[in-house]
Amino acid sequence: MKELPKAYEPKQYEDDIYKRWEESGFFNPDTCIEKGVCEKDAETFSIVLPPPNVTGTLHIGHAVMLAIEDVMVRYHRMKGDRTLWIPGTDHAAIATQEKVERILWDEEKKTRHDLGREEFLDKVNTFASDSHDRIVNQAKKMGTSMDWSREYYSLDEDRNLAVRKAFKKMYDEGLIYRGDRIVNWDPKMQSNVSDIEVVRKEEKASFYYFQYGPFVIGTSRPETKFGDKYVVMHPDDKRYKDYKHGDTFECEWINGKIVATIIKDEAVDPEFGTGVMTITPWHDATDFFMAERHNLDKEQVIDLDGNLMSIAGEFSGMHILDARPKIVEKLKEKGLLVRVDEDYLHAKATNSRGGGLIEPQIMKQWWVDVKKKFTVEDSKIEGIDSGKDYSLKEILQHVVRSKQIDILPERFEKNYFNWVDNLLDWCLSRQLWFGHQVPAWYRGDEVYVGVDAPEGEGWTQDPDTLDTWFSAGMFSFTPLGGIDEETDDLRDYHPTSVLETGYDILTFWVVRMILMTTYLRNEIPFKTVYLHGLVRDEIGRKMSKSLDNIIDPLDVSEKFGTDAVRLSLIIGASPGNDSKLSVEKIGGFRNFANKLWNISRFMLINIDDPKVDAPHPQPNTVADSNILVKLTSIIHEVTKDVEEYRFSMAGEKLRDFTWNELADWYLEIAKIEENKSDILNFILNTILKLWHPFMPFVTEAIWQEMYGEDELLMVEKWPELKSHTSTGYVLNWSKEEITVTEQFLILKNIVTKTRSLRGDYKIDPVKKLNIVISAGDKKDMLLENTEVIKRLARLEDLQIEEKIEKPEQSVGFVEAGLDVYVNLEGVVDFEKEKTRLTKEIKQLEGYIGGLDKKLSNEKFVSSAPEDVVEKEKEKLKEGNEKLEKLKTQLESLQ
> Rounded CA gap, 277 and 230, in Å?
8
> Rounded CA gap, 205 and 349, in Å?
13
pLDDT at 195: 83
User: Do 219 and 287 touch, CB atoms closer than 8 A?
Assistant: no
Question: What does the CA dihedral 64, 70, 73, 74 come to, rounded to 10 degrees?
Answer: -140
> Rounded CA gap, 714 and 712, in Å?
5
- The answer for 561, left when phi > 0, alpha when psi is -120 to 50, beta otherwise, is left
CA dist 44 → 85, 159, 664 (Å): 11, 24, 39
- List, as own/partner pairs, every contact residues 239-247 make where C-beta atoms lie below 8 angstroms and the sequence separation is at least 24, other chains included: 239/275, 240/275, 240/276
> Rounded CA gap, 212 and 218, in Å?
10
SS3 letters for 411-448? Answer: CHHHHHHHHHCCCCCEECEECCCCCCECCEEEECCEEE
- In tens, the pLDDT along 857-881 reads 888 888 888 888 888 888 888 888 8
Residue of 624, 548, 644 lying closest to 785 (CA atoms): 624
> Rounded CA gap, 364 and 504, in Å?
29
Characterize 766-796 residue by residue with b for buried, 16 or more Cβ atoms within 10 angstroms of its Cβ, and e for exposed. eeebbbbbbbeebbebbeebeebbbebbbbe
User: Do 382 and 372 touch, CB atoms closer than 8 A?
Assistant: no
> Rounded CA gap, 191 and 112, in Å?
13
Pairing of the two strands 176-186 and 361-368:
antiparallel
pLDDT at 302: 95
> Rounded CA gap, 683 and 689, in Å?
10
Peptide bond into 214 cis (omega under 30): no
CA dist 151 → 48, 417, 476 (Å): 10, 33, 13
Helices H, strands E: what count in the chain?
28, 33
> Rounded CA gap, 2 and 19, in Å?
24
- Torsion sign, CA atoms 541, 543, 545, 550: positive
> Rounded CA gap, 381 and 357, in Å?
43
Question: What does the CA dihedral 655, 659, 662, 665 come to, rounded to 10 degrees?
Answer: -150
Tell me the pTM. 0.88
Q: Strands, E, within 493-596: which ranges?
A: 496-502, 526-532, 535-536, 579-580
CA dist 705 → 8, 145, 589 (Å): 12, 21, 22
User: Do 164 and 302 touch, CB atoms closer than 8 A?
Assistant: no
Characterize 39-58 residue by residue with b for buried, 16 or more Cβ atoms within 10 angstroms of its Cβ, and e for exposed. eeebebbbbbbbbbbbbeeb
Strand partners, 770: 797, 823
Helix, strand or coil, per DSSP, at residue 458:
coil
> Rounded CA gap, 548 and 527, in Å?
39
| Intervals of the chain under pLDDT 50 | 724-727
Calculate Rg over the CA atoms of the chain. Answer: 36
Strand partners, 203: 346
Strand partners, 771: 798, 822
Residue of 555, 560, 495, 557 lying closest to 529 (CA atoms): 495
> Rounded CA gap, 416 and 424, in Å?
14
Spatial CB neighbours of 839, under 8 Å, sequence gap ≥ 6: none
- The answer for 565, left when phi > 0, alpha when psi is -120 to 50, beta otherwise, is alpha
- Torsion sign, CA atoms 101, 102, 104, 109: positive
Spatial CB neighbours of 769, under 8 Å, sequence gap ≥ 6: 754, 758, 763, 793, 794, 795, 796, 822, 823, 827
Q: How many CA atoms lie within 13 A of 660 on its CB side?
A: 10
Other CB atoms within a 10 A radius of the CB of residue 630 amount to 19
- In tens, the pLDDT along 61-72 reads 899 999 999 999
Spatial CB neighbours of 70, under 8 Å, sequence gap ≥ 6: 85, 142, 143, 144, 145, 566, 693, 696
pLDDT at 724: 46
DSSP secondary structure string for all residues of 162-194 = HHHHHHHHHHHTTSEEEEEEEEEEETTTTEEE-
User: Do 774 and 802 touch, CB atoms closer than 8 A?
Assistant: yes
pLDDT at 799: 92
> Rounded CA gap, 148 and 144, in Å?
10
Residue of 22, 26, 44 lying closest to 35 (CA atoms): 26
Report DSSP state, residue 807: P
> Rounded CA gap, 433 and 112, in Å?
9
